Amino acid sequence: MTKNLYWVYELTGGDLMSEIKMIGLTDVQVEGSTNGILNKGTLRNWRSQGKGPRFFKIGRKVIYRPEDIERFLFSHPVLTQDSRE
C-alpha cells in the first residue's frame, strides 16, 4: 500500500472542534491500491453478506482503514508444502 493511503484526522481552523476532516479509503480506492485484488463489486457484495474486511459507515459513505485491508489480505495465507517445513 502506498503511504498516502493512511487514516488521518486532520484538524483545521482555530479551535479543536472547528473542523475535522476524515480521510479513509473508498471501495474504489481499495480496488486501486490493491491492483484489483479486492474488486469494488466484491467488496460491496461482501458488505451486504457481512463478510470481508472491516469497514465503517458514515451516513451513506463507506470507509475502509488501510490497516484493516492489509490485515484482511494477510489473514488468508495459502500453506504450501515448502512453507510447512
* First-residue to last-residue Cα distance in the chain: 30
Query: Per-residue confidence at 82, pLDDT binned at 50, 70, 90?
Result: confident
Listed residue (27, 56, 50) closest to 40, CA to CA:
27
Does residue 84 or residue 2 have the better pLDDT?
84
pTM over 0.85: no
At which residue does the C-alpha cell 479543536 appear?
A: 16
Query: Per-residue confidence at 23, pLDDT binned at 50, 70, 90?
Result: low
What string of H, E and C letters represents the secondary structure of 55-71?
A: CEEECCEEEECHHHHHH
Query: Per-residue confidence at 22, pLDDT binned at 50, 70, 90?
Result: low
DSSP character at residue 45: H
Task: For residue range 28-73, list pLDDT tens digits in order.
Answer: 999 999 999 999 999 999 999 999 999 999 888 899 999 999 999 9
